[in-house]
C-alpha cells in the first residue's frame, strides 16, 4: 500500500467517509505536505515519460531527415480524419478528468464519478478507433464492415458473417522485416512503419494503463474515497492522463499532417 491509500475504509467511530477522516502517512506532518511530496514525485515520473517519448521523437526526426521520401509516402497512407477524431477524443477526456478534480474539491460525488467514467470511455474509444480503423486494415488488409474507407476498395473475401472484409493488396504495411506490402515506392518505407507502430503503440499502451488507473479511481470514488479533504490520487492520475494527451498532441501532426 502506498501513502495514497493508507487508512482505508470509513471512520468506524463516526461513519464519516474516507476523505473526511483521511490522515497522511506518519512521515508527513500534514496532508498538504504529503500532497506536495506526492505531486513532485509524479512530476519527476512524468519527466521520465517525456524522455522516453523524446527518444522516439528524435528517432523520427533522424529517419525523416535521412529518408524524407519514405516518410512523405508513409504519412500519405494515414488517414488524417481518424487522427483528428482521436485528438478530439483525447482532448475531451483531458477536460473531463481536469473537471473531475474540481468535482472532488467541491464534493460533487455524482459528477466526479460521471466524469471519471466518461474519461475511461474516451480512452477505450481512442484505442478502439486505433485498432479497428488503423492498425487492423494496415497490418492485415482486413476492414471492419462499417469502415467508410471500404467503399474505395474492392473486397474479395469476408469473414465473421460479413463483419470483416479483406482487401487484397492493402495490408502488409508492417514494421521492419514484417513488411509485406507490394506497392511500396521507396525502399525505406518499412522504416516509417517501424517508427509509426513504435510511437503509436507505446502511446496506446499508456492509454490502456490510463484505463486501468482511472477505473481504479472510479471504484474508489464509489466508496467515497475522494472529496475536499483528500483527492491526491485523482490529481496525480489526472497529471498522468494529461501527459498522455500531451504526447498525442505532438504525435498527431508529426505522423498525420506533415507531408
Partner 1 sequence: MSHDPHTHGTAAVALDPTDPHGATHHEHVIIPRSTLMNVLLVLLFFTLLTVGLSRAEVWAAGFFGIEIPQWVNVAVAMSIAIVKGLLVLLFFMQLKYDNKLNAIIFANCIFAVGLFLFFSMTDLGFRGVVYEWKKGEISLGGTGGVSRGAGDHKETISGNVTHFAREKYLALWGPEKFEHIRASVKHDHPHGADANTANLSRAITGQTGALSATAPTHSAGGHAPSADGHAAPAGDHPPEAPASHDAPKDAPPTGGH
Contact footprint for partner 1 (CB under 8 A): 29-33, 35-36, 39-40, 43-44, 46-47, 50-51, 54, 57-58, 61-62, 65-66, 68, 80, 84, 87-88, 91-92, 94-95, 98-99, 101-102, 105-106, 228, 238-239, 242-243, 245-246, 249-250, 252-254, 256-259
Phi, psi (5° rounding) for residue 36?
Answer: -65, -40
* Whole-Å CA distances, 11 to 100, 217, 223: 24, 20, 12
* Closest CB 214 distance from partner 1, rounded Å: 15
Which residues are CB-neighbours of 24 under 8 A, at least 6 positions away? 3, 30, 31, 33, 34
Give the single-character DSSP code of 147: -
Phi, psi (5° rounding) for residue 13?
Answer: -70, -45
- Which residue, 11 or 79, has its beta carbon nearer to partner 1? 79
- Which residue, 98 or 209, has its beta carbon nearer to partner 1? 98
Q: Are 210 and 123 in contact (CB under 8 A)?
A: yes
- From the CB of residue 201, how many other CB atoms can be counted at a distance below 10 Å? 13
* Closest CB 168 distance from partner 1, rounded Å: 28
**Is residue 248 helix, strand or coil?**
helix
Give the single-character DSSP code of 133: I
Which residue, chain included where needed, has cell 522485416?
177
- Which residue, 60 or 142, has its beta carbon nearer to partner 1? 60
* Closest CB 87 distance from partner 1, rounded Å: 5
* Closest CB 179 distance from partner 1, rounded Å: 24
- Which residue, 167 or 235, has its beta carbon nearer to partner 1? 235
- Which residue, 57 or 179, has its beta carbon nearer to partner 1? 57
* Closest CB 234 distance from partner 1, rounded Å: 12
- Which residue, 144 or 246, has its beta carbon nearer to partner 1? 246
Give the span between the Cα atoms of 144 and 159, in whole angstroms. 10
Q: Taking the alpha carbons of 136, 138, 141, 147 in that order, is the dihedral positive or negative?
A: positive
* Closest CB 129 distance from partner 1, rounded Å: 15
Amino acid at each position: 500500500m502506498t501513502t495514497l491509500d493508507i487508512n482505508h475504509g470509513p471512520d468506524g467511530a463516526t461513519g464519516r467517509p474516507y476523505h473526511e477522516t483521511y490522515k497522511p502517512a506518519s512521515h508527513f506532518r500534514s496532508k498538504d505536505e504529503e500532497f506536495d511530496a506526492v505531486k513532485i514525485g509524479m512530476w519527476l515520473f512524468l519527466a521520465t515519460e517525456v524522455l522516453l517519448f523524446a527518444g522516439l521523437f528524435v528517432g523520427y526526426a533522424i529517419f525523416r531527415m535521412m529518408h524524407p521520401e519514405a516518410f512523405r509516402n508513409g504519412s500519405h497512407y494515414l488517414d488524417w480524419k481518424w487522427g483528428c477524431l482521436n485528438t478530439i477524443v483525447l482532448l475531451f477526456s483531458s477536460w473531463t478528468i481536469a473537471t473531475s478534480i474540481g468535482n472532488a474539491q467541491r464534493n460533487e460525488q455524482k459528477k466526479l464519478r460521471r466524469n471519471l467514467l466518461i474519461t475511461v470511455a474516451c480512452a477505450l474509444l481512442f484505442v478502439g478507433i486505433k485498432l479497428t480503423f488503423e492498425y487492423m486494415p494496415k497490418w492485415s488488409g482486413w476492414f471492419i464492415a462499417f469502415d467508410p474507407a471500404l467503399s474505395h476498395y474492392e473486397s474479395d473475401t469476408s469473414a465473421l458473417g460479413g463483419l470483416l472484409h479483406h482487401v487484397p493488396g492493402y495490408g502488409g504495411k508492417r514494421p521492419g522485416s514484417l513488411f509485406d506490402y507490394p506497392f511500396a515506392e521507396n525502399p525505406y518505407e518499412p522504416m516509417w512503419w517501424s517508427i509509426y507502430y513504435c510511437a503509436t503503440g507505446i502511446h496506446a499502451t499508456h492509454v490502456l494503463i490510463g484505463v486501468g488507473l482511472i477505473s481504479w479511481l472510479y471504484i474508489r470514488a464509489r466508496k467515497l474515497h475522494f472529496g475536499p479533504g483528500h483527492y491526491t490520487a485523482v490529481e496525480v492520475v489526472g497529471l498522468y492522463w494529461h501527459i498522455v494527451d500531451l504526447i498525442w498532441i505532438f504525435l498527431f501532426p508529426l505522423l498525420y499532417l506533415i507531408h
